[in-house]
Structure 1
Amino acid sequence: MKLRVCVRLKCLWFYVCPQERRREFEANLEKEGLELETEDKSDSKDHKTYFLKIHAPWNVLAKYADILKIKVPFKESDFPHGREVPLEFLSCPFRLPDSIIHPQPDYFTSPFDKNKVEFFLISDKSTFFPPSTRNRIVYYILAHCPYYSEGRKDREKTGIKRLLSNGTYTAAFPLHDVTRNSEPESERYNLYKHWARFLCFYKEQPLNLISKEICDAEVGGSILMCPLCDKKCPFWKLNSTCLSSWQSHLFDNEGTVFFAIFMGIWVTLFLEFWKRRQARLEYEWDLVDFEEEQQQLQIRPEFEIKCTNRRLNKITQVPFKCARYSLSAATVLFWISLIVACIIGVIAYRLAVYAAFASIIKDPMRRIQLVGRFITPQLATSVTASCINFVIIMILNFFYERVAIWITDLEIPKTHLEYENRLTMKMFLFQFVNYYSSCFYVAFFKGKFVGYPGDYSYMFGKWSKLRNEECDPGGCLIELTTQLVIVMAGKQLWGNIQEIVLGRCCKKEGSRWEQDYILLNFTQLGLFYEYLEMVIQFGFITLFVASFPLAPLLALCNNILEIRVDAWKFTTQFRRPVASKARNIGAWKEILNAVAILSVVTNAFIMAFTSDMIPRMVYLYAISRDKSMKGYISNSLSVYNISQIPKTNMPEENWYDNSTVTCRYRDYRYPPGHMREYDHTMQFWHILAAKMAFIIIMEHVVFVVKFFVAWLIPDVPSDVKARIKRERFLIQEYLHNYEVERLKLQLSASFITEPHSETTLTPDMTLTSDKLEVLSEC
């Protein structure tokens, strides 16, 4: 029975290779006090694999718990257990039963001191340290233990990571709990049954366990529009965009403004309540002030090995690594430039292929086939370009993940926290540009630098013949929505498919260590990619929510599925990860705050420049005589004389009535014959001023509310603050009483052996028996 407990709680396992390094490493592990036990290869399923079991006895656990300053209970909490959410009874259907959660009493905790064992609440040494602490301590020893003999020293030969990389061992991992039906009390079994199943999606997360005028035939059908590209694009009727204009109006309306403002405030509420939840978990999981300990104690073995012979800065005493940082920055800039080049390539594709689609589809209103009425050149170009862009995104992600890890390793960060923060910034910066750059192009650049008939703007100059894209008469918002749907939904779908396909159902044969050995390895960066995925999703539902209000709903559906897929992976497909601690989500918190602030700016600009809301409002309140939208479409389109269109811009075939002498285009310019022919009208400048005023007003309103809400909601709940203060007070009080009692016992023992002698406390201070009573009353 003792061996079974030891195996389940204290062990990591190895598959063994080269003998010399293995012998030295295992000898040094035994010197550290670990107990080793090797399973014979004849007992393994393939009769070739050795499994080395490592046990950590009490003295080793106590020693390293002291070194790592691991917090353990010293007194049961006298605070009433409070919930952060009021009306607790409403959440009962969503909570897991106590028989599954096994709620533990609250304790006040203090860093462990092996010389003051009696101070802590130790009822059973074999279960005092939880499994997470045990495997964390063992892995810390493995990561810092050398594999050279005592007579010679080689700093390069240190740690289990290097032994895994050079083939000495093929795996190192802690064991899972038993998941057989015969032992349903296993935490892993309960997690699989009550968390990983899709039908449990409504349960809590067990964190402690893991336009009408356009469509009118008399209005839109009578307006002839100028060609949207050179040569291949014909003249077309405005009502051919009836469907896309109707779709655009679903999201481009006055209600979208209030929704965008609401989302800007919601982001702040989300982050503030997350901070409160984080503060509560930080206290419950003994992570208060942990970051400072981590910075000082958990130095990466790679830093200790590689930063020994480097020239130090005379002032900061930090090794010079300017060359490495310069190479890292240059690599990041190169890959970001590569993304921008790919986006430019996709834009060039849109410009070149649009003409091809236009020549095939021609004028949708002249097509007899049903498909021709629903597929326009703009839609076909937008969908295919978005799909190509998505494929490029996935390919670049695959390569840059490896490049980011390589250049971060090159910088040799000192601690694990510093390593993760640097990698986080590189990966997020890259993926921000990778995922959002195409959306920024559609939102803020497409249709803004078109020119007008007779003076069009070209992407690479007129020689390229790639005329800048125009937006539909209803605006570019529907194209931005299409881009978001394809990229966001495609990313989520691909991610879930990839996670399911990469998972594998393992055969439940052989010993427990063999079953765990064939599971997938949960790397140190396993959770990093989960955080990255959620933060990118957070950007999609905040930065561009004004163009796609359904994005939050799409994200919610994805997360319900994502949680079940992840739960299934963690409980059935992955080895048990090595326990590690972190006070908070690190650099991700600052990234979320930055995205939240940027989202206010992007949504304000989308509503002002991408949406058609401001021109409509200006027309309604400043132009329209009867205060209605009648005549708005004709007002928003400028007139151009067809005879003045250069031959290079004219279509090869004319599908219009030759009696028509003018065509319309989307802009606010004076008509032909005016003294300021084709210059911008005053209405253009009024609309521009209204857009800028809207941006300033919306940003200030949202920011004022955001900062007020952030000030109003404290980051740390009041009961958590009180618990922390109470715990610190009790640590001082109990430690003082503990030291006094221990000193009294020492003095009493001294008086029994030498009743007339003085007990020396320090070289220059003595304490006699007549002072003992005074001391005990202090």
Structure 2
Amino acid sequence: MWNWEKVNKHIDYSFQMSEQSLSSRETSFLINEETMPAKRFNLFLRRRLMFQKNQQSKDSIFFRDGIRQIDFVLSYVDDIKKDAELKAERRKEFEKNLRKTGLELEIEDKRDSEDGRTYFVKIHAPWEVLVTYAEVLGIKMPIKESDIPRPKHTPISYVLGPVRLPLSVKYPRPEYFTAQFSRHRQELFLIEDQATFFPSSSRNRIVYYILSRCPFGIEDGKKRFGIERLLNSNTYSSAYPLHDGQYWKPSEPPNPTNERYTLHQNWARFSYFYKEQPLDLIKNYYGEKIGIYFVFLGFYTEMLFFAAVVGLACFIYGLLSMEHNTSSTEICDPEIGGQMIMCPLCDQVCDYWRLNSTCLASKFSHLFDNESTVFFAIFMGIWVTLFLEFWKQRQARLEYEWDLVDFEEEQQQLQLRPEFEAMCKHRKLNAVTKEMEPYMPLYTRIPWYCLSGATVTLWMSLVVTSMVAVIVYRLSVFATFASFMESDASLKQVKSFLTPQITTSLTGSCLNFIVILILNFFYEKISAWITKMEIPRTYQEYESSLTLKMFLFQFVNFYSSCFYVAFFKGKFVGYPGKYTYLFNEWRSEECDPGGCLIELTTQLTIIMTGKQIFGNIKEAIYPLALNWWRRRKARTNSEKLYSRWEQDHDLESFGPLGLFYEYLETVTQFGFVTLFVASFPLAPLLALINNIVEIRVDAWKLTTQYRRTVASKAHSIGVWQDILYGMAVLSVATNAFIVAFTSDIIPRLVYYYAYSTNATQPMTGYVNNSLSVFLIADFPNHTAPSEKRDFITCRYRDYRYPPDDENKYFHNMQFWHVLAAKMTFIIVMEHVVFLVKFLLAWMIPDVPKDVVERIKREKLMTIKILHDFELNKLKENLGINSNEFAKHVMIEENKAQLAKSTI
């Protein structure tokens, strides 16, 4: 654990000491800056800039001296509003305090910028600053090259040779034994060159840590600090670390190796979609937090491959068995389905229709509703368990490989948000640091929590209301479709795929998808606003609160229509003469004679595919268009040097929540793949194709269209892992209910084993058995078709007694047998899948055995190296020879053993 009291004291002490120990050159510079006439100073600075800029490359990432590397860039524009003086004073104080911490600054005048209005403050962290804050942040650095060999490739790895990246790209650096850096033990670490010892990701992380804690003045009696507050008040317009260079060409000396170019060549190109990802290089360049997202996305995509293969096999089975399906054959047969007159699907305007008019729809339904549906539902319950358990192992292996075993939460996530400090009027003693810190009593937050809860509830209610509105739309237009699609033509045995049910389902699903996108767009804005109004204390609290709101809303928004079709549609219809009505006006929707599964498949396909296509297009085009427009506006002075910091300034900012939305998108897709996969075996295949594209789209936009993000650490995917576990458990129940109540497989099995009378072809007569008989004369006047027919009876989907029975229209015994079979199937399937899940979770260790051994080996070697280092240092300090030193150590050990035995 870090002692933050010591850290804070160290930082305050460094401010005091730096103020006292400013060199005479720096002091004179500050004095001259304050006393020299502005016009003369600016003229001098401008001439100097113009002179050296003519000799400077536009891709240079160094100060004008060509030696000091730029680690961070701040930009601002002159503000002509009334608070311009206040902002200028804040910047002056902030930059002065940055110099006191040891950072070196170089300012680019606006007249030398491309747009002629933007100032750039370039920041360099010298060696003394880096070693000081590397120790404060507990950054691990190499002390010895590791003697543990990398994992060897399995025999199948050679088959996957084309997928592999060159070793120099996959492993850009050797593996080392590492230890937390200490500036007093610099001889222990492998420092060959001070300029390259700390990678650029560590450098920008250190500089951002200083920027986030540097004060810029006292306002309203409170000490104000942090670059985030200055960005929020538009004192600075942006703050970002530089990319290594251009992504389309390697860097030229003296610039260091251009890792951005390497990433673009081997990762961010769509032609490399089949290649593995250079994960170590991603981590080195963007930090562990972004790196672990791509590890998760890649691992999830790899696991989807197995689910996609099995799902495709189930689909092919349905395709091959479609022509031999007895139910479809009977429906399509003019002598069977063609002679069955079905009851009208709506009141008055709908006519009777022949069953064989749904011939093609019944065949298409068999693609997804067949014997393999049960197998695939059980398989996916096991697959999701294997995925989560193997991800635990992958995460544990990653923690070892990326030195995150003893990782603690990043300070930038735990530090107080500027908004929280600004709103706090109370202070409280922190029990850990023993310092007074801002505090907000619970009673001041309760109104905002109530508002937040009410807003989330209101918007989820709005989603449900919009879903009901779509249902009303479907009920309203159904009669219109039925009036011209099921006229006399349907009684003439016309076979059509576009039945009123399918047509209404397609249009309703498309309309529902549009409504989902609109509601999602507005809710993203509102959820961010109400989360800010809650005034979370830390960035971690802010992100957790926003995650909860966004996930709850998206769960309801994207899945509510699928839940309706799967578990409610067609379940409470009633029967002819006694239908149930929505709002006493619209008759409840009925399922197709083949069941509602095909409609659930249609709904799921449109929403899932539409969301993925829309998301990828948005992610690719949105930053591209913004950057093009920004560059077009900025490049007004073509004769000026379009420098590296200006090029990055014109890129889009990834933002603190950029990764949040990427995880949200992936988890939403995971819900489609798991919650309703029994109705659509091709869902994993669609997700696999999308993720292959998604990886390259995300890589391309991060490498080419966004500014470089500040490197930050993370040892897991955080709260998203708990959400995935919750969805995995829920998916077992939803798929069991889909097979039991939405699919037609259970009624067919009951008929096969209990009611079939044909020994050679047991499924013969199933269609006739599944349809009940209704006497047309029993239709109430307000529901009977307006056009009179010569039919005496019509058929409808249910298990009820016929009109000539004393219990007419009541559920018959077969209905209860089918219901009992459905409930039995749900209980058996859930218990079997959960039993297998628990067995797999017990059998598969969270941390692989070889990783445990590697961690032990590394800890042992690190302790030994540190021990030998301290002994050698002590030996040098004592100034004695080896024999005397060994005798001295033995005497001390004997004394310790004697003292221990005495105790």
- TM-score norm. by structure 2 comes to 0.79
Distance 2:515 2:180 in 1: 50
From 557, 563, 566, the equivalent of 2:689 is 557
Gaps of 5+ in 2: 1-59, 79-86, 283-327, 433-438, 636-640, 897-903
Matched residue, 2:54: none
Please show how residues 303-702 of structure 1 align to structure 2 within 5 Å. Answer: 303-307=420-424, 309=426, 319-320=441-442, 321-363=445-487, 365-366=489-490, 373-460=496-583, 462=584, 465-504=585-624, 506=628, 510-627=642-759, 628-654=762-788, 656=789, 658=790, 660-702=791-833
Shift of 1:388: 1.4
Which is worse superposed, 736-745 or 397-406? 736-745
Distance 2:97 2:77 in 1: 16
> Residue deviations 1:20-61, cap 9 Å, x none?
221111111111211100112232212222111011111212
CA 1:769/1:77 → structure 2, altered by over 3 Å: closer, same or farther?
Answer: closer
> Residue deviations 1:504-540, cap 9 Å, x none?
2656971111111111111011111111111111111
Matched residue, 2:126: 57
Which is worse superposed, 545-554 or 350-359? 350-359
Distance 2:407 2:343 in 1: 66
SS class of match (1:14): strand
Matched residue, 2:72: 11
- Structure 2 residue 301 is the aligned partner of structure 1 residue 181: no
Matched-pair contact (CA < 8 Å) for 1:364–1:376 = no
> Residue deviations 1:714-742, cap 9 Å, x none?
22222221222223333444434434444
From 212, 215, 225, the equivalent of 1:143 is 212
Matched-pair contact (CA < 8 Å) for 1:393–1:435 = yes
Matched-pair contact (CA < 8 Å) for 2:250–2:258 = no
> Residue deviations 1:606-645, cap 9 Å, x none?
0000000000000011000224111111100111110010
Please show how residues 7-46 of structure 1 align to structure 2 within 5 Å. Answer: 10-17=71-78, 18-46=87-115
Shift of 1:325: 2.9
Shift of 1:363: 3.6
Matched residue, 1:704: 835
SS class of match (1:74): strand
- Structure 2 residue 230 is the aligned partner of structure 1 residue 163: yes
Distance 1:369 1:448 in 2: 28
Distance 2:120 2:465 in 1: 51
Matched-pair contact (CA < 8 Å) for 1:234–1:651 = yes
From 89, 92, 103, the equivalent of 2:158 is 89
From 209, 214, 218, the equivalent of 2:281 is 209
> Residue deviations 1:378-410, cap 9 Å, x none?
122111111111111111111211222223333
% identical equivalent positions: 60
Distance 2:66 2:421 in 1: 35
Matched-pair contact (CA < 8 Å) for 2:74–2:240 = yes
CA 1:228/1:361 → structure 2, altered by over 3 Å: closer, same or farther?
Answer: same
CA 1:314/1:333 → structure 2, altered by over 3 Å: closer, same or farther?
Answer: farther
Matched-pair contact (CA < 8 Å) for 2:506–2:602 = yes
Matched-pair contact (CA < 8 Å) for 1:367–1:373 = no
Distance 1:609 1:197 in 2: 46
- Structure 2 residue 143 is the aligned partner of structure 1 residue 74: yes
* Residue type at the aligned position of 2:797: R
Matched residue, 1:263: 380
CA 1:726/1:373 → structure 2, altered by over 3 Å: closer, same or farther?
Answer: same
Matched-pair contact (CA < 8 Å) for 2:581–2:587 = yes
Matched-pair contact (CA < 8 Å) for 1:364–1:375 = no
Matched-pair contact (CA < 8 Å) for 1:639–1:662 = yes
Distance 1:433 1:6 in 2: 56
Distance 2:857 2:385 in 1: 30
Please show how residues 291-306 of structure 1 align to structure 2 within 5 Å. Answer: 291-292=408-409, 294=411, 298-306=415-423
- Structure 2 residue 305 is the aligned partner of structure 1 residue 200: no
Which is worse superposed, 283-292 or 46-55? 283-292
Shift of 1:347: 1.4
Matched residue, 1:231: 348
Which is worse superposed, 645-654 or 667-676? 645-654
CA 1:5/1:615 → structure 2, altered by over 3 Å: closer, same or farther?
Answer: farther
* Residue type at the aligned position of 1:640: F
Distance 2:330 2:597 in 1: 18
Shift of 1:744: 4.1
Matched residue, 1:758: none
Distance 1:358 1:132 in 2: 64
Matched-pair contact (CA < 8 Å) for 2:108–2:121 = yes
Distance 2:362 2:66 in 1: 68
Distance 1:455 1:634 in 2: 22
Matched-pair contact (CA < 8 Å) for 1:16–1:170 = yes
Matched-pair contact (CA < 8 Å) for 1:8–1:176 = no
Matched-pair contact (CA < 8 Å) for 2:608–2:669 = yes
SS class of match (1:52): strand
Matched-pair contact (CA < 8 Å) for 2:410–2:713 = no
Distance 1:344 1:333 in 2: 16
Shift of 1:577: 0.8
Shift of 1:546: 0.8
CA 1:442/1:284 → structure 2, altered by over 3 Å: closer, same or farther?
Answer: same
SS class of match (1:419): helix
> Residue deviations 1:10-29, cap 9 Å, x none?
22232343422211111111
Distance 1:61 1:117 in 2: 12
Matched-pair contact (CA < 8 Å) for 1:289–1:583 = no
Distance 1:364 1:170 in 2: 70
Structural RMSD (CA): 3.0
Which is worse superposed, 712-721 or 529-538? 712-721
Matched residue, 1:755: none
Shift of 1:6: 6.4
CA 1:517/1:368 → structure 2, altered by over 3 Å: closer, same or farther?
Answer: farther
Shift of 1:575: 0.7
CA 1:31/1:673 → structure 2, altered by over 3 Å: closer, same or farther?
Answer: same
> Residue deviations 1:569-598, cap 9 Å, x none?
111111111111111000111111111111
Distance 1:584 1:159 in 2: 27
CA 1:336/1:289 → structure 2, altered by over 3 Å: closer, same or farther?
Answer: farther
* Residue type at the aligned position of 2:90: R
Distance 2:141 2:66 in 1: 20
Matched residue, 1:765: none
Matched-pair contact (CA < 8 Å) for 2:114–2:642 = yes
